[in-house]
Structure 1
Amino acid sequence: MKTDKKKIIIGATDHLALPDFGIDEIACKIDTGAYTSTLHCSRVRLIEKDDQSILSFKLYDPKFGISTKKEFRYTEFKERKVRSSNGEIDYRYSIYTTVVIFGKKIKTEFTLSFREKMKFPILLGRRFLKNRFIVDVTQKELSQAQLNQKTSR
């Protein structure tokens, strides 16, 4: 398979920004076993208003360094069937939002999940990684290292 784009090496973990949510830096785990990326959130609910469904959720979680208490609402969302690593099927809502990593803005899909018991608030799955990144699990925080290198010049 030949591609014209040069792929970026990404480690097992990193940090990214979610500008649509006002989050400048948040930890993420690279998960090649997951197809779709996942975002930690709480209070996920559907609101019916004027014959329209609105998806509402909060990202607030001090454990993950998310201090915004704002409620986010989306009118464009999907419901996805997700199979967990133990084979169980779950239904989750998904949204599209912008991620900034390695200085690149990338619009991608996230399923919404309550990840309080997990170590990372975000998983980046294969759909996000495909044709953009090569995963080197022996590395970590490579975008942060690149950012620190640029700012020290």
Structure 2
Amino acid sequence: MSFCQIASADPQVLGWQETVYFTDEQLFAEAKIDTGADHSSLHALNIEPFEKNDQAWVRFELLGQKTLERPVLKNSVIKAKTALQAASVRPVIALQLCFAGQKRVVQFNLVNRQHLKVPVLIGRADMPKGWLVNPHQTHLVSTDCRL
């Protein structure tokens, strides 16, 4: 009796840290590939919600470099890490990026990540399906989406 199925091809592998390219904004950024996170997070400063045409929007400074305005897709409630902290609510926006040679639209929750080493976190929901993450290596894939 077999408990596992062997894949016919070698799986693609990501490093625990990769470079991503925000195509519309023409910005490169370092991203942590986090298999422990469900969703993706993006470093943003001066996060200001506002209304436009009766819809929730947010203005923010992307990676400390460009000010953007995007519609808010939803608000994400982030659980507190300790009992002494309160849960936080973060706006979720969509941005197109090139990652692992593929263009994809990723939903990011916006948060100040200045205290962290890497400005972008890619969660499981936005990882290429079927790929593996090598926790001992970085920068294994291309940001070239012309492939």
Q: Same fold (TM over 0.5)?
A: yes
- Deviations along 1:47-76, one digit per CA (max 9) or x if unpaired, are 234533321111143xxxxxx3x3211124
- Separation in 1, partners of 2:103, 2:10: 16
Q: Of 12, 15, 20, which residue of structure 1 is paired with 2:19? A: 15
| Pairwise CA distance, 1:126 | 0.9
Q: CA RMSD in A?
A: 2.7
CA distance in 1, matches of 2:78, 2:58: 18
TM-score of the pair, normalised by structure 2: 0.79
What is the CA–CA distance in structure 1 between the aligned matches of 2:80 and 2:138, rounded to whole Å? 24
Match of 2:125 in 1: 127
The Cα of 1:93 is off from its aligned counterpart by: 0.5
The TM-score, its normalising length taken from structure 1, stands at: 0.76
- Whichever structure has more strand as a proportion of its residues is 2
Q: Tell me how far 1:129 sits from its aligned partner.
A: 1.8
Q: What's 1:96 paired with?
A: 94
Gaps of 5+ in 2: none
Equivalent residue, structure 1, for 2:79: 83
Q: Is there any run of 5+ residues in structure 1 with no aligned partner, and where? A: 62-67, 148-153
> What percent identity do the matched residue pairs reach?
25
CA–CA separation in structure 2 for the residues paired with 1:26 and 1:42: 15
Instruction: Report the residue type matching 2:100 in the other structure.
Output: F
**Runs of 4+ residues over 4 Å off in structure 1:** 1-7, 84-88
Q: Say whether the 8 Å CA contact 2:72–2:92 is kept in structure 1.
A: no
The total of aligned residue pairs comes to: 138
